[in-house]
Amino acid sequence: MAITEESLRQGRILLVDDEVRSLCLLESVLDRLRFKHLRKLTDPTRILEEFEAFQPDLIITDIEMPEMDGIQLVEQIRNYLPREACLPILVLTGAQDPQIKRRALIAGATDILFKPFDSSEMQMRVRSLLQTRMQYLEIEAQNRVLEQKVTERTVELQKALTELQTNQRQMVQQERFRAFGEMAGGVCHDFNNALMAIIGYTELLLQNAELIDDRELLREYLKTMNIAGRDASHVVSRLRDFYRPREENDVFTAVDVNDLIEEIVPLTKPKWHGQALESGRTIRVDLELQKLPPVLGNSSELRETLMNLVFNAVDAMPKGGTITLRTVPLEDAIRIEVADTGTGMTEEVRQRCLEPFFSTKGDDGTGLGLAMSFGIVRRHEGTMDIETVLGEGTTFVITLPCNHAPIVEEEEACHALDRTLRVLVVDDEPNTREVVSGYLRGDGHRVMTASNGNDAVRHFMSEDFDIVITDHGMPGMNGLQLAEIVHRINPAKSVILLTGFAFGPEQQPTTIDCVLKKPLIREELRAALRNVMEDRHTSDLTLLPVA
């Protein structure tokens, strides 16, 4: 907006002088120059009060005044206003002293006009100073408009960003739920295969009582069911830990791959033999196993990988055929082959079959089995290759390194403690109480049980226990709350928490000495008892006074 003469004449001018005569003279000069908004002040000590009331665009002040001179007035105004404020101040003086002019400018005066002055010079100075003021006010107004627009735009952008982030979170969540659903489908498939071995062999024993008398066969059935049950537990853990990243520092143990292959043959038999016969197919499994060095790995994961490849081979042979499991030692690795005589793959399918969610089985496939197997192999620093001929069959080739040291040998079993413990077992599930109590009593420990937290507290206060083993999720008082009470009563007592939920190390409070996941096996319980009691003994020794 252009600054006109009329807008300049609308500027508010505050005149300051202790002499009324001088003020009236200055007022008459400005009035003749047609400046319309003038105000006089004879008491310079009231400058701030007058400033707030009048809000001038220009201050014209005399410099020689008794109570507060013009330089002090300028300093007071400048100290009062923000540093970025633009308020012109014109100082009038009759002294032709350069030092006074210098002091006035240092104090913050905008301009100096020496008396006597003529009206044309006053008009020029006032007009110039008001023009500076009006330009500043116009810029300020434009800045306020821009700031308002920026604020509004920022609010809009923030709102859009919030909506975008919300939509992204929803999309990610939907994708994870979809992946979780796909994962659950694959896990259910694996879980059902494990249950097939357990249910199948138990039904055989129930329906054929004479099989129980065959101790060797019975032991073989029980061993197979135990392996299947542990694998089912691992499958559930995989589903439970779907959102939790795998620990990269997990310690692998020495694994005999030939033993794994011999284990999976009966585990997968319900599918390659039973289901195949039901559909009119005959499938044979051949083993060609050479002596191998151990590899570093997770036996459950490698077993799961080989089972997935066998199941995939069964699905690839709609007319039956042969599955060959072959192992070959290499210089610093081992080679595992799972070959079928099925339909084979096209080149496009071969290149994509390891991708997550890619499946050629339509609604019957999740597209995760091979992808997860590939991920497990890569986690073991191995490779997976596919050799296939359309119409003749497919061979999955896994290569795993075996020259990594040191190798941590996997213990066959953890032996029981050589001392008797007094243990309080707390769980609202009767079966869990009985199994855990059976493990403990079988190792010679004295056991008392409680079905809820309140009963457990009463037992703990009336008996002297070495350790408390409690379930995590119980109605009323849960395991964490019970552990807090135990710790308050006697901090020297240990607590082991059993949980069927995902429970990371960062979630473990100081009142819990150890966390064990359900389903619990005896070796894990023995190891936990040994570690907890050894840690407790070490802790007690550090607290002994020094002689």
Q: What is the pLDDT of residues 338-355, one digit of tens each?
A: 999 998 888 888 887 777
Long-range contact set of residues 119-123: C-beta below 8 Å, sequence gap at least 24 = 119/29, 119/32, 119/33, 122/29, 122/30, 122/33, 123/33
Measuring CA to CA, how many Å separate 545 from each of 194, 490, 538, 540, 542?
55, 20, 14, 11, 8
Listed residue (36, 41, 48, 9) closest to 24, CA to CA? 41
Q: Give the per-residue pLDDT at 242.
A: 46
Neighbours of 196 (CB within 10 A): 18
At 359, give phi and psi (nearest 5°).
-150, 145
Summarised one tens digit per residue, pLDDT across range 185-221 is 555 656 776 777 788 888 878 888 787 888 888 888 8
Token pair of 97 as six digits:
């002293």
pLDDT at 173 over 60: no
Q: Give the per-residue pLDDT at 291.
A: 92
Instruction: State mean pLDDT over 372-399.
Output: 90
Cα 409 to chain centroid, rounded: 34
pLDDT at 162 over 50: yes
The Cα–Cα gap between 436 and 328 comes to 42
Average pLDDT, the chain: 82
Token pair of 31 as six digits:
């009035």
pLDDT at 506 over 60: no
Token pair of 109 as six digits:
């005066």
Q: Give the per-residue pLDDT at 122.
A: 86
Q: Which residue ranges make up each domain of the chain?
A: 5-117, 245-401, 422-542
Q: Give the per-residue pLDDT at 496.
A: 94
Confidence band of 486 (pLDDT split at 50, 70, 90): very high
DSSP 272: I
Q: Give the per-residue pLDDT at 546.
A: 38
- 500 or 128, higher pLDDT: 128
Q: Give the per-residue pLDDT at 73.
A: 93
Token pair of 170 as six digits:
């929803």
| Residue showing tokens 């210098």 | 102
Confidence band of 181 (pLDDT split at 50, 70, 90): low
At 41, give phi and psi (nearest 5°).
-135, 120
pLDDT at 249 over 90: no
Q: Give the per-residue pLDDT at 15.
A: 93
Confidence band of 406 (pLDDT split at 50, 70, 90): very low
Summarised one tens digit per residue, pLDDT across range 102-129 is 899 999 999 998 888 888 888 888 888 9
Q: Which range (18-27, 409-418, 503-512) has the least confidence?
A: 409-418
Instruction: State mean pLDDT over 126-149.
Output: 88
Q: Which range (24-28, 241-245, 509-513) has the least confidence?
A: 241-245
pLDDT at 48 over 90: yes
Question: Is 425 within 8 Å of 469 (Cβ atoms)?
Answer: yes
- 191 or 546, higher pLDDT: 191
- 25 or 403, higher pLDDT: 25
Token pair of 478 as six digits:
């849960």
Domain 5-117 and domain 245-401 have a common topology:
no
Secondary structure of residue 114 in the 3-state scheme: strand
Third-level CATH fold of 245-401: Heat Shock Protein 90 (3.30.565)
First and final C-alpha spacing in the chain: 92
pLDDT at 150 over 60: yes
Percent over 70 (pLDDT), the chain: 84
pTM of the predicted structure, to 2 decimals: 0.43
Confidence band of 175 (pLDDT split at 50, 70, 90): very low
Q: Give the per-residue pLDDT at 413.
A: 52
Class of domain 5-117: alpha beta
Instruction: State mean pLDDT over 462-470.
Output: 93
pLDDT at 376 over 50: yes
Question: Is 109 within 8 Å of 91 (Cβ atoms)?
Answer: yes
The residue count of the chain comes to 547
| Residue showing tokens 């379930």 | 471
Percent over 90 (pLDDT), the chain: 30
pLDDT at 165 over 90: no
- 42 or 207, higher pLDDT: 42
Give the angle 302-307-309 at the CA atoms, nearest 5°.
100
Q: Give the per-residue pLDDT at 361.
A: 63
Instruction: State mean pLDDT over 312-328.
Output: 91
pLDDT at 244 over 50: no
pLDDT at 167 over 70: yes
Give the angle 375-379-384 at the CA atoms, nearest 5°.
55
Q: Give the per-residue pLDDT at 174.
A: 57
Q: Give the per-residue pLDDT at 358.
A: 58
Instruction: State mean pLDDT over 7-11.
Output: 85
Confidence band of 407 (pLDDT split at 50, 70, 90): very low
Helix (H) or strand (E) holding 495: strand 494-499
**CATH number at 422-542:** 3.40.50.2300
Long-range contact set of residues 47-55: C-beta below 8 Å, sequence gap at least 24 = 47/16, 47/73, 47/76, 47/77, 48/76, 48/77, 48/80, 50/14, 51/14, 51/77, 51/80, 54/12, 54/14, 55/12
The Cα–Cα gap between 431 and 409 comes to 33
